[in-house]
Amino acid sequence: MVLLSFSHLLHGLPQTGIAEITVETEVTQEVTYESTTDQSQTVSITSDNNPGGEFDISRFSPNDPTISPLKNCPTPRPGSRVVGYYVLPDNPQPVSERQFESYTDIILSSITPLPDFTFNFGRSKTTWVTLAKDFVARSEKRCVTPLLGLGGWDGSRYFSGLVYTPEKREKFASSIISLMKEVGFRGVDLSWLCEPGVECNEISPEDLTNWADFLTLMRSKIPSTWVSISGYIAGLSGPPQKDEKTRIAYQKIVKAVSYVILMTYDVYGSWSETTGPVSPLSDKCNDEGNKFSFQESVKIYIALSFNPLQIIPSVPSTSHGWRLVKGDLKDKKFPNGLISYIYQNHTKEKLPGGPSDTKPGGLDQCGKPTNYTGTWTVQELVQTKKLTNDLTRGDGGYQRIFDTCSGTPFILNKQERILISYDDVESTILKTQFVASMGLGGIGL
């Protein structure tokens, strides 16, 4: 059985000493690394919101007061969270096959909030509740925290209106908490992707302030429950401004949430001028106008005064592909002496991706025609014979190449002129090492 999406799961990020990361594919690999983090460490980063520049990463005790532990289960150590995502399939059987032991927390993703304070479950509510209760029971049996996921890329259209007034915030919070109690979820992940989301999302100049007030309300209503939010790679609603209003909003958000789960991906895709890494570890080889990366996103959120232990950056389980202008790779040299082959010119063709990719002929939630996006899950790369089961080699005419400049792999089919960028075991280990060295809350897979 191949454990993918992301099945090279990392269990138990350490706080101190030497730790083993077990990477599970068809072959179990063990890698050791040294973490310099201990629970008394402070991280020094200059911030407008925190002029002193020091963040005490021991603010969360081993028994985090904002999250009630599961009954008869050990409490995860600070910095040891491994957060996964699960989408209910049409056939509920895969729920029982989920490798729960690889995670500390799993988000059941995602339902869509509607303007009338109800939810779109993607099926009847009765069926969804039955499947969700089964998911919760199986999670808790394995000491995994079951979390309700709301929103996401396709599900953020109405957030702005739902939090626009105190009365609406009260009704929205009550509807979420009522659903959590009905099913038995132990927390909620709120993924409002406003400006970086779909074009028809409702947007207001007051969104960040209203969001902060809503999260403060949620925390007051469920003080001992997990409340996490998604964090766009450049800030919660794009690059953060430095005005007083924004500063106050971020202060409220930092105080209200248990964790912010960073979306450190989609740095390059079909929309980019060149090919490039989906989720670069470092931006030292990115284009000047695209200086985003796994490391940089963490620094942005620390500068916004998030405690490092509140930050959980995620590793993508999807990939992006392009058809190149030429099959032969051209090296790109940088002033710092680095050389990369992942940045190539492409034809701008809408490349068909894997089975999960969108297809032409439909309409998205905004009523616009759909098309291919050149996207595969990592599991689909294996299933379609582009990668071997252990992710270490290309297959079916593809060659795997690791780009040391970005810290990510890509595969190349020279004859078909197709380049696909993704994350695998090697790149995930590098990111996990960074997570441990910075004393972060964990990692999302």
- The pLDDT assigned to 48 comes to 37
Instruction: Quote the radius of gyration of the chain (alpha carbons, Å).
Output: 21
Reply yes or no on whether the pLDDT at 413 is more than 80. Answer: yes
Q: Say how far apart CA 208 and CA 158 lie, in whole Å.
A: 14
In this prediction, residue 195 carries a pLDDT of 59
- CATH number for the domain spanning 116: value is 3.20.20.80
Q: What is the pLDDT of residues 164-209, one digit of tens each?
A: 999 999 999 999 999 999 999 999 999 987 655 667 888 888 999 9
Residue 94 has pLDDT above 80, yes or no: no
Domain that holds residue 59: 41-263
DSSP state of 77: P
User: Is residue 43 scored above 80 in pLDDT?
Assistant: no
Between 212-216, 361-365, 381-385, the lowest mean confidence (pLDDT) is in 361-365
Q: Is there a domain that residue 253 lies in?
A: yes
Within-domain flag for 399: no
In a domain, 287, yes or no: no
Tell me: pLDDT of 78 over 50: yes
The verdict on residue 231 lying in a domain is: yes
Higher pLDDT, 6 or 310: 310
If you average pLDDT over every residue of the chain, what do you get? 82
Contact call for residues 105 and 83 (beta carbons, < 8 A)? yes
Q: Is 86 contained in some domain?
A: yes
Which has the higher per-residue pLDDT, 128 or 63?
A: 128
* Residues in Cβ contact with 204 at an 8 Å cutoff, skipping those fewer than 6 apart: 160, 164, 210
Report pLDDT for 91: 56
Is 201 within the bounds of a domain?
A: yes
- Asked if the structure places residue 96 within a domain, the reply is yes
Q: Using the predicted structure, report yes or no on whether residue 360 has a pLDDT greater than 90.
A: yes
As a whole number, mean pLDDT of residues 144-160 equals 90
Domain tally, the chain: 1
Q: Kindly state the tokens that stand for 99.
A: 């490798």
Q: Looking at the domain assignment, is residue 162 inside a domain?
A: yes
Identify the bridge partners of residue 394 per DSSP, sorted by sequence position: 387
DSSP 218-233: HHHHSTTSEEEEEEET
